[in-house]
Amino acid sequence: MMMGWRKKPDVHQVTDAKPALSVDIRKREISYLIKMGIRTICLILAVVVPLPWPYRLLFIAAAVFLPYIAVIGANERGKDAPPPTFQSPEANQTEIPLHRREIGS
């Protein structure tokens, strides 16, 4: 008997599990809110606090570019998240879909 030829079964561990989608979304929401809070502080500092122009321009630049950075970060899926799939079952091409049928047909 050749017992060494058997393929070992795949063993899955709990630590291999991907984080839940709700956890990933919550983490991105918190990150977005922190960045937008920093933007608000920069905008207030640029307008209200009397600062020299180089500092004021720095705060204005941060207030302008932080929304872009925040949105890009919020739309980025987590590195552990699986890629989106767009699989649909094969449709019968000879049948008109229910949502396309007319009344009385």
Task: Note the pLDDT tens digit of each residue in 12-28.
Answer: 666 667 778 888 889 99
Q: In a 3-state reduction of DSSP, which class is residue 67?
A: helix
CA distances from 22 to 28, 79, 90 (A): 10, 14, 30
pLDDT of 90 reads 59
pLDDT of 16 reads 67
Is 80 exceeded by the pLDDT of residue 5? no
Closest-CA residue to 46 (of 30, 35, 29, 59): 59
pLDDT of 22 reads 86
pLDDT of 69 reads 92
pLDDT of 18 reads 74
d(CA 81, CA 26): 13
User: Under 8 Å CB-to-CB from 71, ≥6 apart: which residues?
Assistant: 32
d(CA 103, CA 48): 64
Q: Which tens digits make up the pLDDT trace of 42-93?
A: 999 999 999 899 999 999 999 999 999 999 988 887 665 555 555 555 555 5
Q: What share of the chain is helix, strand, coil (3-state, %, to 5)?
A: 55, 0, 45
Is 60 exceeded by the pLDDT of residue 39? yes
